[in-house]
Structure 1
């Protein structure tokens, strides 16, 4: 089942097992059960601490539990955890087998202290780069706390169940049979939703913090680079991020990051976070900024108010809040979000196997999405507002070679239609004839660019008509002591490598600003 390279890696990882692990499989005579049986045999062969039983009686077949002999640990996989989920299997083995998770001790204590019975179900697809974070976090919780149970379900394999429960986006998480969350979540975010006292404790921690020399708002490539460059100057540096990694977390393949021929967004985001944590940086995740208050006097403190009511203060601030997927803003889009309207073809594409979908947008992202989806779905209709596609020529040649793709140009999407539970079609206007048309389909993938995350800055500093933060050549904004970098700014070409350079430049500019306010010794000692 596994190639020799994976078997060797697995054997190396499983040397860290401290306790025996038992895999209890529920199988039938289907080909998928035979595949799972072979996979579990390969896993057991990699360590003498892993054993397999084939007498499971779970209702979902094929599936298997990851447990300890004689104990009832609530970690289960329904389907084959391959693709992006193979790492989730390895980590489940390690955590159930006593290898300590790589999280802060206070987080482990928080998981163990959860009061209540929590039964989680997560629907994933093997091609989803967002799913492993959720699966791994919930598996870890189930390995640490016997009152937490989790089953990770391959939505493509359990299609009837997906249809019955109206799952149209991954990851989708249910808690005790009720909808809990959709989309990427990490352990901290999950705990914040179920631990009712977590927010109050976090507010008190924020209030107790002294002022920073440099406060970075945002944890994407620009924010991470800014934090590293600031920390290397030996000044007090903090990062407040809504989610560390930002838009990079939603990027599948990255092939233009200089010196790295290929990587994936989540892997790069994890490397960014680890690099930042190698320095003396106060990283505050899950923090949403809602207001910027400029200093009341030259050299005074800038204040950043957070959503939960606490505030952070700093001598300088670097805004690196990035951007998010642009929406069509047509009737039905928000109503059917995650019910057929999607923004990540890699994540949600497998859920539309054999169905009809549309892709909105004819740039590189839209055409790439249409090409990927054409190999999964029955038919793709690509809708482009302009008179011609804007994607690279090589992508267009590939697109037009596909027999199950229809391309509509000079077409303006006007509405998304549904039956109250899921998407059933969309309407578009032919901009040449003004005629309205309707396309019957089950999914709409929106790929029309990005919008900066700057609404909270309205009235605080100068923004462009597009909502981007206006910056000069040094990354300075219209407010003294406030700098900005990355996709949220007026700097052209929204690229990871450019964002990193701009973040580094903003940190150097902030340090230069600081040393002109006070002697270097005083700033460094603050």
Structure 2
């Protein structure tokens, strides 16, 4: 299953294993069991510290396998064949079970170790989901640290009956002790916060005690990361507060137009951003949601959802954007129950079914093309008279036999049976006739909406809800700057967001210098480094 190059890389990684590993496989006579067995056999040939035990036991999930140290009971199991995006999760699990140190702060490890309770996690994933590995790897680490935590990763495409029974229509979906725990990308700190009831109060107290910053960036996407790097390089006190570091990039599958990077994936790019920021003296406060901006004459405050208030001499707003909703009946009611926004993540769950894509731009047409290779039929609905996607994408779309394109279609309702989607209704804008299409899934791809609800009444917003800025990134509030997709800057691209973040940060520094001259209050710079 592994090509020569991948074997060579994996063998190199497995040289870091310091403790023996037992792989215990639950198999039957199915082709998938044989396929999984072949993969595990290949892995054992790459390290003399790894042994494989095959059992025909009464496990209700076959094929599956657990990772353990002899004499231990580490609760890490994979139900399925963890290739695709989950191959990295498998490699990391092997290394960590084999004694390679876990890369977590000491206080986070201690918090995991001290969690009080028995937690049985079941995480449903698809191998094409770029968001799933973060959840899988977080829970695997937690199971490694705390013996009262157990985690099984389940390939939803392989265990279709289980997915149908639990009506799982979005990944990752996490069950804990038999009940739904969460859906979507989730990091280790977010999981801990949900399990540790006192975590929020402790975090708020810790944040509230921080001294004022010179520059505080709100948002951890490309614009926020660039702003943090440029501020830190000036030697001034810099902080980043973000709900999730990486922002919208985490939900991007392929990036092929960032200058000097031929191709990469969103999560990989987001990790690189965070690593770059952390090479500087930047106070990164993640898993924190901003709720209010409070302008002030000397210091500007940001109130967080946990009640803590952070203060700074200048602010850079870089909160980005999120998927735009169509706001029709049924959309929110059936979200994650047939209504989805990520075809790469959730597409495999609709294998052999009928789906619709709403939106005829590049995102919508690309989604329809991808889904056509998985589902039985795709109906693409476009509000306008023609598709807006690039010509090359349109040609590919029209060449597919299981795709129907309907233009001049105004979506009016997503219908369901109370549990999951069963159709979509639209109005033909040419004839005025109402029509209905029976299907099982709807993928919404109509662009982005800026994350600015929390800023209403403070900074000036455009009619589209974007933060209005000038050529220097200055907002309507002195000392408050903004950058990236959340602003009125045209063309929402990663490379543009990075440039805008750098510009806003330099403008904030310039504001600090001018203010310190006016107020005779020096900026708290250490050693300035040339930009």
- 1:60-94 C-alpha deviation (Å, 9 max, x unpaired): 00000011112211000000000000000011111
What is the aligned length? 523
Counterparts of 1:346 and 1:101, CA distance in 2: 29
Counterparts of 1:119 and 1:56, CA distance in 2: 23
SS in 2 for 1:522: coil
Partner residue, 1:425: 423
Partner residue, 1:235: 236
Per-residue deviation, 1:142 = 0.6
**Are 1:9 and 2:9 counterparts?**
yes
**1:343 maps to which of 324, 341, 344:** 341
Q: How does 1:196-215 map to 2 (within 5 A)?
A: 196-215=197-216
Q: Conserved in 1, the CA contact under 8 Å of 2:28 and 2:56?
A: no
Partner residue, 1:438: 436
Counterparts of 2:189 and 2:353, CA distance in 1: 36
Counterparts of 2:243 and 2:429, CA distance in 1: 39
SS in 2 for 1:304: strand
Partner residue, 1:390: 388
Partner residue, 1:18: 18
Counterparts of 1:100 and 1:109, CA distance in 2: 14
Partner residue, 2:512: 514
Q: Conserved in 1, the CA contact under 8 Å of 2:27 and 2:33?
A: yes
**1:497 maps to which of 489, 492, 495:** 495
SS in 2 for 1:107: helix
Counterparts of 2:56 and 2:245, CA distance in 1: 39
CA RMSD, 1 decimal: 1.0
Partner residue, 2:364: 366
Q: Conserved in 2, the CA contact under 8 Å of 1:122 and 1:174?
A: yes
**Are 1:251 and 2:249 counterparts?**
no
Q: Conserved in 1, the CA contact under 8 Å of 2:479 and 2:508?
A: yes
Per-residue deviation, 1:313 = 0.2
Per-residue deviation, 1:18 = 2.0
**1:321 maps to which of 319, 322, 327:** 319
Q: Conserved in 1, the CA contact under 8 Å of 2:482 and 2:504?
A: yes
Q: Conserved in 1, the CA contact under 8 Å of 2:339 and 2:442?
A: yes
Q: Conserved in 1, the CA contact under 8 Å of 2:234 and 2:525?
A: no
Unaligned 5+ segments in structure 2 are 527-531
Per-residue deviation, 1:337 = 0.1
Q: How does 1:431-510 map to 2 (within 5 A)?
A: 431-510=429-508
511-520 vs 234-243, greater mean Cα deviation: 511-520
Q: How does 1:153-302 map to 2 (within 5 A)?
A: 153-295=154-296, 297=297, 300-302=298-300
SS in 1 for 2:284: strand
Per-residue deviation, 1:524 = 3.1
- 1:337-367 C-alpha deviation (Å, 9 max, x unpaired): 0000000000000000000000000000000
Partner residue, 2:139: 138
Q: Conserved in 1, the CA contact under 8 Å of 2:474 and 2:504?
A: yes
Q: Conserved in 2, the CA contact under 8 Å of 1:120 and 1:173?
A: yes
Instruction: Assess, with a 3 A threshold, how the Cα gap between structure 1 residues 521 and 21 changes in structure 2: closer, same or farther.
Output: farther
Per-residue deviation, 1:525 = 4.3
SS in 2 for 1:157: coil
SS in 1 for 2:513: helix
Per-residue deviation, 1:278 = 0.5
Partner residue, 1:71: 72
Per-residue deviation, 1:56 = 5.7
Q: Conserved in 2, the CA contact under 8 Å of 1:241 and 1:285?
A: yes
Counterparts of 2:198 and 2:56, CA distance in 1: 38
Partner residue, 1:53: 53
Counterparts of 2:416 and 2:46, CA distance in 1: 49
Counterparts of 1:18 and 1:194, CA distance in 2: 31
**Are 1:98 and 2:96 counterparts?**
no
Counterparts of 1:86 and 1:42, CA distance in 2: 14
Per-residue deviation, 1:261 = 1.2
- 1:111-130 C-alpha deviation (Å, 9 max, x unpaired): 11111000000000000000
Q: Conserved in 2, the CA contact under 8 Å of 1:24 and 1:56?
A: no
Per-residue deviation, 1:106 = 1.0
Counterparts of 2:6 and 2:70, CA distance in 1: 26
TM-score w.r.t. the length of structure 1 is 0.98
Q: Conserved in 2, the CA contact under 8 Å of 1:23 and 1:51?
A: yes
Counterparts of 1:42 and 1:15, CA distance in 2: 15
Q: Conserved in 2, the CA contact under 8 Å of 1:56 and 1:64?
A: no
Counterparts of 1:65 and 1:334, CA distance in 2: 37
Per-residue deviation, 1:23 = 0.2
7-16 vs 249-258, greater mean Cα deviation: 7-16
Counterparts of 2:190 and 2:327, CA distance in 1: 28
Per-residue deviation, 1:507 = 0.4
Per-residue deviation, 1:101 = 1.1
SS in 1 for 2:375: coil
SS in 1 for 2:129: coil
Counterparts of 1:224 and 1:270, CA distance in 2: 11
- 1:417-448 C-alpha deviation (Å, 9 max, x unpaired): 00111000010000011100000000000000
**Are 1:30 and 2:60 counterparts?**
no
Per-residue deviation, 1:8 = 1.0
386-395 vs 14-23, greater mean Cα deviation: 14-23
Counterparts of 2:228 and 2:56, CA distance in 1: 50
Q: Conserved in 2, the CA contact under 8 Å of 1:301 and 1:313?
A: yes
- 1:126-170 C-alpha deviation (Å, 9 max, x unpaired): 000000000000011111111000000000000001000110000
Partner residue, 1:114: 115
Q: Conserved in 1, the CA contact under 8 Å of 2:290 and 2:305?
A: yes
Counterparts of 2:111 and 2:12, CA distance in 1: 30
Q: Conserved in 2, the CA contact under 8 Å of 1:414 and 1:429?
A: yes
